[in-house]
Structure 1
């Protein structure tokens, strides 16, 4: 498995694809991340065409087991960020 791209590596590749400098590519990447974070934390969803959909889902209150003691405890309801991968990306990975 290949190593994931770091933020600086991603900015460099993005700058090359955009035909601009790394500083503006990093600013664009930061702006996209900020928009995604804001929308998802406000209960919305963001669809990245060809990549997938990022959204927030609420999990109900439930009983969980402490693996160390085996004791059952009640876990409060919470939210979790999910991502559904687009069919185009799945197809490109699977050939």
Structure 2
């Protein structure tokens, strides 16, 4: 199941929702370069809270890349929704991003 939290969402809202619904994966997107720091912020919060191993985190959007995913410590990147679904299946199967 996918929960769309909308645009301009505070970073903690992603974590709180993931905890609330017992998510396996948190998906984040960036369509403006100014929002890229917030992708890392979610990952930093997860680490600081001791929750990083609890969730797989994937990123996507026009301003993202596989290199960015690696740089910020995300578990994977997808260039589009179809590939994001495939990535989620691989991550849930333990095959990595």
Asked if Structure 1 and Structure 2 have the same fold, meaning a TM-score greater than 0.5 normalized by the shorter chain, the answer is no
TM-score, with normalisation over the residues of structure 2? 0.25
Higher relative contact order (CA 8 A, sep 6+): 2
Task: Identify the structure with the greater helix proportion.
Answer: 2
